[in-house]
Chains A and B, each alone.
Chain A
């Protein structure tokens, strides 16, 4: 206990230095936490139990090739399929090309069976189903543009020569897209496409989790020899396909994280070396009054770990609070929906703090503790 007291007094001795060291470590750990959380969110999109039952069927070659809408009836008959809807990325422009957000034209009849995680008041749901030019938007999206039920939303087609004029009939919450999407009727879209009857993907809800891989196999087997073969995968695998397209994001982020960590070790080691250098005489005195080498080593190690641990906790929690209260879709133009700092990452960063503390103080503390008592006392600090 007394030992701890001594440790604490040492830390508080040079408050300015303590403050500066802790802040610089906190800034770095803020960054590490953010990057790790970003990577984690990209790699593990939010998995609701409903999302785990969802499969996406696309053209085998790429997302750019459309599928015939007639496939829907065939997929519906596949064993293990509870519901299936066509889903077409519209990619229109809302007022300004900068206002990027996801827009899909979908089959509305089974939409809520495939997406039960999109929660919506019953009256709004009915209003949407009844209105052929109606649309529903996620809550974060509606918030971003200040939309209210009844608002008119005009989209200008960029992929398609069709400008839908929609009326917002409802606002849903939840779903694996964090409420960032606009959905409207596929029938309306198809009309604009002069009834060419195609869709980009199909979203399937499987009857049970066990049947998910089987459904994928069965659907793909069905169209294996057709002119338009399909590829069916879970919603999560489908999303991960986008991440792999981004290239070496993972490598880039882990690379930056390691450099940042190395930098903090340098900073912390420098501080510890400075503060130990100034206290060589003190070490001599401590030894003279009977402190063991080991105790002195622990004294400095403890001090260093305390500093970097405090920095790590402040930095990673600051990141958590910062991103929890930030309207990311608005700032990034819909590019990043959410950065959620999970407890695992907080724990990892705390561990990193301890590690940095030990590595930083290791060499100078060990050398200081081994210094002969008389030699240390002789030194003029």
Chain B
């Protein structure tokens, strides 16, 4: 015979101030957990969402990132003539030679950070259809023009539409703002390849981006590039290239788990305190329940359910408190290229469920001992008290 849930809700309601405070304590813990996980998730999915399976990025063999890859311009022709490369409407192969440089630039808040500047081409823009103009137009060759991503233009100085900023040896004009749909390209400044190569005096490529006709052709191109010992290049799938950068989140992830664990332990003790107080002040009630014929087991479950309800209430409060953080834009260092990567806090149903599960664990662990104590209360003594 089980004790009706109504009894538990009633008991929690009677001591509502205590219930609310304990739930709020658990809720704050859960919200911190959710926010940290949303941070990690936002950072990781920025990398995971970037790139296309049929697109390859060619970098120097042995490099792991564009910023430390470089090779001669003549290799471009070798790559461009490989079979299996898709052609665009004008019958041009979809291959873009690119030069990535890093600048140190002040944020709006004053401190500075590294920003990726990509010298690319008209084909390069076609290869990244996810990037759409929201303001102005794309850059033109020879005019020292740049197009800045929307989040970057909000976060860094002099990067708004119409601004002008000094990079390398020239003043560059911001002629457009683009949005790359929350991908890693949302952390970049784009300009014409020739302009960047001239201004930085680096007549080289750091990478070549190309689109294969299909996945099989992509595999074949990868194999051909790897097998050609003269060129010392490697082709990686664009998707894989960015996915492998998501290790930048390790630090935040570890910090988040550490914080959640320690706070979780603290919350368990707080919940235990509350539940012990509940058990002690209700020993008469427990005695009555026993006298009515409820078993020790029912009493144990009932108290355990009560503490779980309390914790879940906290969990729900925590979810609600964390939700406003969703979509807020922030940035950190991408350890693959030591430049700023911009992303959003991303709360998913999965993270919310994890938060609730976390709260439930707190409830069960915190309520376990007090519930056992309640089940051990002896009928006669309890009624006499």
Which of under 10, 10 to 19, 20 to 34, or 35 or more describes the interface residues of A?
A: 35 or more
**What CA separation (Å) do A160 and B61 show in the bound complex?**
10
Given contacts A159-B63, A270-B18, A332-B254, contact A20 B273 (CB under 8 A): yes
Total interface residues in chain B, CB < 8 Å: 54
B201 contacts A by Cβ under 8 Å? yes
Binding site for A on B (CB under 8 A): 17-18, 21-22, 24-25, 28-29, 31-32, 39, 60-64, 67-68, 101-104, 111-114, 168, 201, 232, 250-251, 254, 258-259, 262-263, 265-270, 272-274, 276-277, 281, 330-333, 338, 340
A274 contacts B by Cβ under 8 Å? yes
Closest to A161 in B: B62
Which of A61-69, A129-137, A166-174 lies on the face that meets chain B? Answer: A61-69
B32, A256: Cβ atoms under 8 Å? Answer: yes
**What CA separation (Å) do A245 and B333 show in the bound complex?**
6
A263, B29: Cβ atoms under 8 Å? Answer: yes
Name A233-283 residues within 8 Å CB distance of B. 241-242, 244-249, 252, 256, 259-260, 262-264, 266-267, 269-271, 273-274, 278
Binding site for B on A (CB under 8 A): 16-17, 20-21, 23-25, 27-28, 30-31, 34-35, 61-65, 157-161, 227, 241-242, 244-249, 252, 256, 259-260, 262-264, 266-267, 269-271, 273-274, 278, 332, 335
**What CA separation (Å) do A270 and B330 show in the bound complex?**
36
A20, A31, A245, A273: the one within 8 Å of B272 (CB):
A20
A267, B266: Cβ atoms under 8 Å? Answer: yes
**What CA separation (Å) do A355 and B340 show in the bound complex?**
39
**29 A-B residue contacts at CB 8 Å?**
A20-B269, A24-B267, A24-B270, A31-B266, A34-B258, A61-B104, A62-B104, A62-B114, A64-B101, A64-B102, A64-B114, A227-B201, A241-B112, A244-B113, A245-B333, A247-B332, A249-B332, A259-B32, A263-B29, A263-B266, A266-B24, A267-B21, A270-B18, A270-B270, A270-B273, A270-B274, A273-B18, A335-B250, A335-B251
B338, A64: Cβ atoms under 8 Å? Answer: yes
**What CA separation (Å) do A9 and B250 show in the bound complex?**
48
A269, B21: Cβ atoms under 8 Å? Answer: yes
> What chain B residues lie within 8 Å of A16 (beta carbons)?
276
B28, A31: Cβ atoms under 8 Å? Answer: no
A247, B340: Cβ atoms under 8 Å? Answer: yes
CB proximity of B151 to chain A, nearest CB, Å: 13
Closest to A247 in B: B332
A246, B332: Cβ atoms under 8 Å? Answer: yes
A259, B277: Cβ atoms under 8 Å? Answer: no
A263, B273: Cβ atoms under 8 Å? Answer: no
**What CA separation (Å) do A262 and B102 show in the bound complex?**
42
